[in-house]
């Protein structure tokens, strides 16, 4: 925990809102709907909301700059957050093209280890049980086959041997 002299939460929040507003501005202001009646114009509501959003962001920024009230940041284990965020992104990206089972077999041990869990037996057991079990529950129980190589492929391959 570290005390700061300004309301940095509001300043960063205000800048983020204004940045997002700028990003949305390019989408909300195309001229293709100019001249269309308000009720028929698809941009009427987004433009109104964006104007309020940007005004709110500016207010937050000014409030943060003017305020003398200090604030405290919560202690965050950034390395762990970054590790799990990167792992999650890689897992979500690989989920469809590589397949549920292979992606999960890689993700789980890496996630456990990166979060500081070191029991190899539990890691192996949970990983080896979770992936096929969830695949089976979704594929057979809910009739939703997870993507990629599955237990049915495995059984077919074993049957063909």
Positions in the binding site for other proteins (CB under 8 A): 9, 12-13, 16-17, 20, 24, 27-28, 33, 37-40, 42-46, 49-50, 52-53, 56-57, 59-60, 63, 73-78, 80-81, 84-85, 87-89, 91-93, 95-97, 100, 104, 107-108, 111-112, 115-117, 122, 126, 130-131, 134, 138, 142-144, 146-147
Measured from the CB atom, the residue of 141 and 160 that comes closer to other proteins is 141
- Taking the complex as a whole, the smallest distance from the CB of residue 5 to other proteins amounts, in Å, to 17
- Taking the complex as a whole, the smallest distance from the CB of residue 67 to other proteins amounts, in Å, to 12
147 in Cβ contact with 100 (< 8 Å): yes
Measured from the CB atom, the residue of 4 and 92 that comes closer to other proteins is 92
Measured from the CB atom, the residue of 39 and 161 that comes closer to other proteins is 39
- How far apart CA 12 and CA 17 sit, in angstroms, is 9
Measured from the CB atom, the residue of 78 and 160 that comes closer to other proteins is 78
- Taking the complex as a whole, the smallest distance from the CB of residue 159 to other proteins amounts, in Å, to 26
15 in Cβ contact with 64 (< 8 Å): no
- Taking the complex as a whole, the smallest distance from the CB of residue 138 to other proteins amounts, in Å, to 6
């Amino acid at each position: 925990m570290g005390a700061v002299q300004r309301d940095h939460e509001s300043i960063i929040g205000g800048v983020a809102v204004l940045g997002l507003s700028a990003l949305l501005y390019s989408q909300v202001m195309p001229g293709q709907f100019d001249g269309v009646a308000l009720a028929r114009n698809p941009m009427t509501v987004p433009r109104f909301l964006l104007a309020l959003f940007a005004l709110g962001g500016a207010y937050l920024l000014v409030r943060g700059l003017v305020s003398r009230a200090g604030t405290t940041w919560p202690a965050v284990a950034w390395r762990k957050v970054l590790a799990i965020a990167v792992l999650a992104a890689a897992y979500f990206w690989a989920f469809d093209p590589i397949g549920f089972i292979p992606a999960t077999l890689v993700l789980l041990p890496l996630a456990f280890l990166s979060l500081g869990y070191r029991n190899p037996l539990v890691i192996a057991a949970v990983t080896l049980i979770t992936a096929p079990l969830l695949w089976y529950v979704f594929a057979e129980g809910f009739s939703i086959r997870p993507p990629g190589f599955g237990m049915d492929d495995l059984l077919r391959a074993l049957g063909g041997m």
